Homo-oligomer: A and B are copies of this chain.
Amino acid sequence: MAAKKRSKGLVIPQGVVSRLPIYYRHLLDLRSQSVERISSAQFGEAVGCTAAQIRSDLSHFGSFGQQGYGYKVSDLLRQLEKILGLTRTYSAVLVGAGNLGKALASYDSFREQGFVINAIFDVDPVLIGNYHSGKVIRPFKDLPAYLKKSKCDMAIVATPKEAAQEVVDVLVEGGVDSIWNFAPIHPVVPRGVLVENIQLTDSLLRLAFYMNARDN
- Nearest chain B CB to A128 CB, angstrom units: 19
Contacts of A100 on B, CB cut-off 8 Å? Answer: 103, 107
- Nearest chain B CB to A90 CB, angstrom units: 7
Q: How far is the CA of A92 from the CA of B194 in the complex (A)?
A: 35
Contacts of A85 on B, CB cut-off 8 Å? Answer: 208-209, 211-212
Q: Which one of B24, B104, B184 lies within 8 Å of A109 (CB-CB)?
A: B184
We find that the number of chain A residues with CB closer than 8 angstroms to chain B is 55
Q: Which residues of A contact B (CB under 8 A)?
A: 6-7, 12, 17-18, 20-22, 24-25, 48, 83-86, 90, 98-100, 102-104, 106-107, 109-110, 113, 115, 153-154, 178, 180, 184, 186, 192, 194, 196, 198-214, 216
Closest 6 CB pairs of A and B: A85-B212, A99-B103, A21-B202, A196-B207, A21-B205, A103-B103
